[in-house]
Structure 1
């Protein structure tokens, strides 16, 4: 297949877009109608301004894939086209409502105006079959309601009970009907028809025609980076469903399974999940080529169902990776502390390796706690303290993933060997730890975690960093008073957020000492249940005291966060 992206562009008015018998179809599995009052108001104001000031309004782009002569699939831009058509229907309804109250001659003229507008923008009568053909077909969920009510000028029995996009479609029609009636209350039906005619000539869209889904994806990604997530999801969903559409049973099964995946992961997070899933299979996707990478894994109906099953299983693990309390972990001892740590570190790339290892964890050939300890401690050393860049972290994980795919037997130890370049030595770690600063409220929880882990390593017992029983104390206060005049302004700026200046302390004692002097603080520290805090017993607290304490903490941290699984 050629790697060239083939497309053509043209600038068309709304009127030209719907001319020459062109028919448009939103793919049946595309997103439902989603615009709301903010978008309707913007469109209405823009069209009115364009008509009143005789200016041109740029409405954006539509990405179309030609299926055959005069028939196009709307890859992107369906929200605009549906809304424009709904506006046209509201004007047609206003004309016909007046026709019903007019005399015979005016009624005939009004009905003719409505028919001409309908032919141009909404639907026309096929000369061969004499059946009405809609110029725009909506997706599978919305089209039935659109045809039954909006096209037929029927009101649903109870609009309040409409669901989701059906409610939005009806609300859009009602919104434009109200606006039209307000603007044209004292105007004629000729003015109504003229408004649509002039608006359709003043509204300009850029039509981008593409030959395949990959081209559509690439074009849309370039035009609208914010739409990348939903577009990746929509294109993959459409592609999978198209492979399963030869039978209603297959299609229904595929739809159900896809929905279970979306329900597990959440619609907005599907692209991120797919990225980690592709990584877990040894692929090297970029987020800009995600659709191509995943599509290449699915070539036919059989592979579509196999991959859907695999995706659903992977989704279960992916979601559990972010939740230490997920029921999936109930059968694996010792994993929750490491999952809590990874969540605290805001780590994501580890999920790809976890997905690659899930079968080994499930059949107990790999110890889940050992694996998650490797992932948590490597992340802590390399990323949290070492600040290794994402590209190097990714390379380390990809090497480990390849080991799971190519080796007949692999262990946590062999994965560690693949990731060794990512893992700082004790000497490197201590040097970086000794200068670490954790500034701001967002880092307070991380500081409590580190100090609680070091507390355990020092032999004082386990403490929960996040149960509310311990607060974070700044020995040199963040806003020091006269008792701290021996610290210069530069000293305070450099040292106040260093780990050597931080301690765990009961909230009641923390409130008691406040920003007072060191003598009062030291007396409170002696009453603390936290061993490392009781150790703070120097005669005075100086920049050198902070440096020495941080050096001691770095020695303990190097032992606590060391990866050494032996033959694991």
Structure 2
């Protein structure tokens, strides 16, 4: 990002709001949403700076603005904070007006009122002599803010949106707090209220990031998100798409239609998942886009009314498939499809999603199920056991998805052939499995090991087990917390072998707890009576448990795994 398109500085609220600067919440930015919890936190923090032993300032976080002239700014992130501070100012003005109306130093307080209003709420343009507000809210909130809150008159309560009621409630809440603040001590009330405004404006400060266009704003969002600051790239993209319609002079009816459908889509996904869905959707239909380039790519290709609505229709078409992949337990897919999608979720593998979205639109049900199974097998070989490059895998899946989207592939056979590049062959997979270590202290890893052991049990005995069941768990023959010298293992050997797959088997939960860290000879009888063929076999074939027996058993497991997770067409 060029330095000329990006500026960062720390500013107090006074510096932000003064000098003729104005701020506008983009028309389609989300509505005001703060409630008592946020109001109380802000007021408490503010009062903390007013105490003689308190902090001298309160940091309000990042404020992301967009401007081309450094005079008028669009608020990309920070609208809730700016709106609430402006409401605090209005609440103070309301209290000063009461002093004027009751004749309490009326002239002096009227001057204070006028000065504060001009500085922090609005002023007369020196050229046009038209009143210009310092802050303009979005299309759903601005009328209520300008017509009812700013004039400090009667606040009607019927027939308004939820966000407008929140604006009114925020004003009433802060009005009460300011009144209580006045009553807490004696003295010149007008001066104390004016000083409160001075303290608010000088002691609240932001890190202000100013950019010149939507693309630079999006890059800022990515950077801040990488550092743990929660911003909504979803809102930014929404604003851009709606601005495309707004520029075209379309009707309010179409804008409302787009907003309703957009909110329905985001609502079903939950906002934090929307960028992941958008990228999977986009890459299932178009040229590959990295997450870092996604907004730039969309902006370059979606610039007309038709393109905006086409994007929306395409997202709606793919939404159910994406939800079924990410939450298969709640889908209406056939049992096998739900099971395969659930395994991908257990593996935390999402690289196949664009491919599966593309295939779901075109393949017949049997071929789609076959492709789902193939992605499970590849994920087992490539992701869980192997150590392949996720980026390489993602690009391979996308290349196949692109050919499906173009109509080049409509069946499973040629699709599988094109996926050969991310399918580790039998020799490579067997060798990787034979050496695999999976630390089951991590809950995800524990589920993966349970899945592997249950699959081996089914392969050996035909017994179908639910790997998520709590009736059994993973037994570590060499215990995870083995005492020094357990079974003759050195400390180094114990550290190296306790999380090898060859050291793990299945055991009923109660039995597992009972035998704990007992010796192998004491455990062996429990293994024989376990009811699991994989565990009985371990006991029958191993009179003792040594590092060599761990390695030999894992070699046997690797051979079984190569048969279980296999795509005949590619092996």
TM-score scaled to structure 2, two decimals?
Answer: 0.86
Aligned to 1:415: 415
User: Is contact 1:25-1:74 (8 Å) kept?
Assistant: yes
1:84-483 matches, within 5 Å, as 84-103=85-104, 106-124=105-123, 133-154=132-153, 163=162, 166-167=165-166, 170-171=169-170, 174-175=173-174, 177-179=176-178, 181-182=180-181, 185-188=185-188, 189-197=190-198, 199-200=200-201, 209-222=210-223, 225=226, 230-245=231-246, 246-330=250-334, 334-361=336-363, 363-364=364-365, 367-406=367-406, 408-441=408-441, 442=443, 443-480=445-482
Inter-CA distance 247–195: structure 2 relative to 1 (3 Å threshold):
same
Q: 1:41 to 1:312 in 2, by over 3 A?
A: same
Asked whether the equivalents of residues 122 and 135 of structure 1 are also in contact (C-alpha less than 8 Å), the reply is yes
**2:75 alignment partner, SS class:** strand
SS of 1:74 mapped into structure 2: strand
Partners of 1:327 and 1:224 lie apart in 2 by 31
Task: Indicate the larger mover: 258-267 or 413-422.
Answer: 413-422
Q: 1:526 aligns with which of 528, 549, 564?
A: 528
Going from structure 1 to structure 2, the CA distance change for 1:59 and 1:520 (only over 3 Å counts) comes to: closer
TM superposition shift of 1:311: 0.8
Deviations 1:124-171 (A, max 9, x none): 467899875432111233334433543243575779x98467436633
Q: Please identify, of 318-327 and 189-198, the stretch whose mean Cα deviation from structure 2 is larger.
A: 189-198
Alignment partners' CA distance in 2, 1:205 and 1:512 = 58
Aligned residues: 558
1:43-68 C-alpha deviation (Å, 9 max, x unpaired): 51576479999x78775654444488
CA 1:444–1:271: 2 relative to 1, 3 Å: same
Give the superposition deviation at 1:406.
4.4
Residue 516 of structure 1 and its aligned partner are, at CA, apart by: 2.4
1:556 partnered with 2:555: no
Kept in 2, the 8 Å contact 1:400–1:416? The answer is: no
- Structure 1 contact 264–316 (Cα < 8 Å) conserved: no
Question: Does the Cα contact within 8 Å between 2:481 and 2:517 map onto a contact in 1?
Answer: yes
Tell me: CA distance 1:524–1:4, structure 2 relative to 1, closer, same or farther (3 Å).
same
Q: Which residue of 2 aligns with 1:27?
A: 26
Give distance in 1, aligned partners of 2:193 and 2:224: 34
Distance of aligned partners of 1:485 and 1:212 in 2 relative to their CA distance in 1, 3 Å threshold: closer
Q: Is the 8 A contact 2:24 2:74 kept in 1?
A: yes
1:374 Cα deviation from its structure 2 partner = 1.1
Counterpart position of 1:503: 505
CA shift in 2, pair 1:532/1:195, >3 Å: closer
Deviates more, 1:346-355 or 1:116-125: 116-125
**5-14 vs 81-90, which moves further:** 5-14
Q: For the residues of structure 2 that align with 1:62 and 1:508, how far apart are their CA atoms?
A: 55
Report the Cα offset of residue 505 of structure 1.
Answer: 1.8
Match of 2:42 in 1: 40
CA deviations 1:420-466 (Å, max 9, x no partner) are 23221111111111122222341222111101111222243322212
How many Å separate the matches in 2 of 1:490 and 1:68? Answer: 66
**C-alpha distance in 2 between matches for 1:484 and 1:280:** 53
Deviates more, 1:392-401 or 1:369-378: 392-401
Which shows bigger deviation, 223-232 or 397-406? Answer: 223-232
Deviation at 1:98, TM superposition (A): 2.4
1:493-530 deviation digits (Å, cap 9, x = unpaired): 22222211111122243344333232332222222221
List alignment gaps of at least 5 residues for structure 2: none
Asked whether the equivalents of residues 24 and 74 of structure 1 are also in contact (C-alpha less than 8 Å), the reply is yes
CA distance in 1, matches of 2:14, 2:42: 19
Name the SS of the counterpart of 2:23 in structure 1: strand
Between 133-142 and 491-500, report the one with greater CA deviation: 133-142
> CA RMSD for the aligned pairs?
3.5
Cα distance, 1:262 vs. partner? 0.5
Listed one character per residue, the Cα deviations across residues 26-84 of structure 1 (whole Å, up to 9, x for unaligned) are: 0121133345146514751576479999x787756544444889544222332342233
Shift of 1:310: 0.6
Q: Is the CA contact 1:47–1:203 (under 8 Å) kept in the aligned structure 2?
A: no
Deviation of 1:552 after TM superposition, in Å, equals 0.7
